[in-house]
Amino acid sequence: MPLDFSTKRDPETGFSFAGLTDIVLLLLIFFLLTSSFIPQMGIRVNLPRTESAAPTESQYITVAVTADGAYYVDQTRVEGPQLLSAVREAAGNRTALVLRADRNATVGQFATVASVAQALNLRVLMATERQTAPMR
């Protein structure tokens, strides 16, 4: 019996995407399993762990800045040039400085206190009041 190689049939013009979708699904599963799900940040930092939200009173020095620019170290008025020596005397073995600045105090006054704290290797915490109404 001879084989019929005639071209009487029309060629199939449709294309089955079933095989292609299987391959795409397998590639998707492969990339999902091999990729990392941890978001990569541009800056790597070691976050500190704390047991309490605020230091106890014996661990910090209080520096207050009034609206008129006066400095108070542990409730004793200090002139600007003597701020470093006053904080150094009050520091002892304390590790933090709490800044209680008036709402009308300037950024320059904050920078002065922050530079004194940095010179003495103290952490700076900013004291604020809890807002009772939500901001709009």
44 domain-assigned:
no
Residue 108: give the domain boundaries: 58-126
**Beta carbons of 98 and 63 less than 8 angstroms apart:** yes
Amino acid 12: pLDDT: 73
Amino acid 129: pLDDT: 64
Instruction: State the amino acid at position 8 in one-letter form.
Output: K
Q: Looking at the chain, which runs of residues are DSSP E strands?
A: 60-65, 71-73, 76-78, 96-101, 123-126
Q: How many domains is the chain built from?
A: 1
pTM score over 0.75:
no
77 domain-assigned:
yes
CB neighbourhood size of 72 (10 A): 15
- Pick 87 or 36 by higher pLDDT: 87
pLDDT, tens only, 71-123: 888 888 888 888 888 888 888 888 888 888 887 788 888 888 889 888 888 88
CATH assignment at residue 70: 3.30.420.270
